[in-house]
Amino acid sequence: INVNSSSGNIVSGNTTVSNTSRGIWLFTSANNTVTGNATSSNNYGVHLESASTGNRVTANTSTSNLYGIRLETNCDTNVVADNLFNSNTLYGIHVFSSSGNTISQNDARNNTEYQIIIQGSSARDTVQKNNIVTSGTNPDSGVFNNTGSAFDFTRNYWNTTDSLAIRNKIYD
């Protein structure tokens, strides 16, 4: 499903399986709603790219993709909430050079590399109230901040209350 240079759309109730590239792709698109979809076995479950801003991505299930969701290059002020990102090969949630996003109340679990990774020039993203469960093959696969900007990841659930175990799951 491709939304290109468009706004005000609702992408809802779809299933995308085994596409060679993207399940759902918003390219230079603003103020859209992506809700209630299921993506699996794609390179990207949901991909917001190139100044896709002000979008709401909610209540989706993204499993067994390379990336559960990726916000890439100036995809600012989006809301990513109440989604399940499970068993993706690389990352559950990947934010690259995109700022001011709210990432909350998602379930990111068993993604092989990291549950949440923030890279590039990303700044001012809010990441809180997410359920973060590391993969069995990589028990330190919680959150990786590779931006140089400070983020507060403490208001998430880490499948433990052990503060040392939580600190070991955050690479900042």
Q: SS3 for 164?
A: helix
171: confidence class by pLDDT, cuts 50, 70, 90: confident
What does pLDDT average to over the chain?
Answer: 96
How high is the pLDDT of residue 86? Answer: 98
**Of residues 136 and 80, more confidently modeled:** 80
Q: 8: how many CB neighbours lie within 10 A of its CB?
A: 9
Query: pLDDT above 70 covers what percent of the chain?
Result: 100
Q: Which two tokens stand for residue 112?
A: 């092989």
140: confidence class by pLDDT, cuts 50, 70, 90: confident
Residue from 129, 144, 19 nearest 79 by CA:
129
- Beta strands 102-104 and 114-119 are unpaired
- Residue 25 is given by DSSP the state E
Q: What is the mean pLDDT of residues 145-157?
A: 93
- For residue 138, pLDDT over 90 is answered with no
Separation between Cα atoms, residue 46 and residue 103, nearest integer Å: 14
Q: What is the mean pLDDT of residues 124-132?
A: 97
Separation between Cα atoms, residue 112 and residue 135, nearest integer Å: 6
How high is the pLDDT of residue 168? Answer: 85
- For residue 130, pLDDT over 90 is answered with yes
pTM over cut 0.75: yes
